Amino acid sequence: MPTFDHAFDWARRQVADGPLPTAVLGVATAEGVVALDAFGSERGRAASVDDHYPLFSITKPLIGLAALRLIEEGRLTFESPLTNAVPEFGAGRDDVVRLRHLVSHTSGIGEPPLDTPGGLRPSLLAPGRDFEAGTVSRYSTIAFEGVAALIEHASGAPWERAVAAVGERADAPGLTFDADASPHAPVDAAEQGVDYARFAALRHPGAGALARAADLLAIGGALLRNDGSLVAPVTYDAMLRPLTAGLPKLDPYPASRGQDWGSTWNLRHAAPGLLARDTFGHGGWAGTEFWITPSRGVCFVLLTNIGGGFGRFGVDADELHNAVAAAD
C-alpha cells in the first residue's frame, strides 16, 4: 500500500510555513481510508481529523449526486426545464434552462455575490441573462438554487433531505448545512469580500455544506468501487460525460485550464499540471479539495479554511494532486 508521505509532507508545510491556518488531509481507496492526519491549531485548539469544515463548492457534486438519484428513479432527466419547479423563472428569456445547463455551468444565469444579500430565490429570478443557455461555460453557484428547486419538485421533500440521503448511502453521516458544526470559519473571509455569517445563513445548495474528511472519503471510496451504492454504473458513466466540450469557456475556468464540466464534476482530463488524466472532483472557496483518480484507485480530501483559497498566495494544489497520484 502506498504511504503518501510526500502528500502529507506537502500539507504539513502549507500549515507550518503558511498560508494555511489549519488543514486535514485524507486519502482513501475503494477499500477505505488509508491515511488521515490533521495539522495546525486555531485559538489554542489543535485541528482534529474529526473536525467539520465548510466545503463551499464541494457542495455542488453532493447535490449533483442527489439529482442523479432522482434521474435513476424516473423523476427527472437532464432535459428537465427549471420552469417545471420555478414557473416564474426566465421572464424575458427566449431560451430554456434545463437541468443539464444548471449542473454544467452553462445556464447563463447572472451570478450574484456568494453571500447575496437579496436571498437565493430572488437572485435566481433576477431578470436578464449572461448568454443563451448551452452556448458558453461560465462558473455559476446560484444555478444550484435551481438544482435544489428541481430536486424538491421531483421528490416532494426538502432538497437537504436528498443530500442527507447521499451521505446515508455512502456511510457519510457528517454532512450538514449547520455552520455551527465547525470550529473553522474561514479566515480572511471579510477581506476577500464574503460576509461569512450572512453566507452561512443562506444554507446555500451550491456552497453551504460542511463535512468531515472521513465523510468525503467515504463518498470517494464508493465512487471508486462503482458498486451502485451511490449511483448505478450507467449513471456513473453519464455523470462524467463532458457537457462543455467545444464550448467557449470564460474565467475563472478558461479553456487553458484543461478541464470540462460533467454533471457537477470538474473533469481535469487535459490539465497541464497533472500527471493523471482521469481525475475528477471539485474544489472550494476556502481551499478545500476533493478529487478522485480512478486509474490510480485513489481519492483525496484536503480540508482547510483560508478565505479565497491558497492560490492567491501562489500555492499550487497540483503539487498535492501529483504527490497523491504518484505515491508508491
| Per-residue pLDDT band at 311 (split at 50, 70, 90) | confident
Grid cell digits, residue 168:
446515508
Confidence of residue 317 (pLDDT cuts 50, 70, 90): very high
CATH of the domain at 36: 3.40.710.10
Can you give the pTM of this predicted structure?
0.97
Q: Structural domain of residue 163, as residue ranges?
A: 5-325
H/E/C letters for each residue in 2-46? Answer: CCCHHHHHHHHHHHHCCCCCEEEEEEEECCEEEEEEEEEEECCEE
Mean pLDDT within 299-320: 95
d(CA 224, CA 287): 23
Q: Which of 69, 266, 99 is nearest to 164 (CA)?
A: 69
Contact in structure between 150 and 184 (CB atoms under 8 Å): no
79-138 pLDDT tens trace:
999 999 999 999 889 999 999 999 999 999 999 999 999 999 999 999 999 999 999 999
Number of folded domains that form the chain: 1
Residue at 321: amino acid letter: H
End-to-end CA distance of the chain: 7
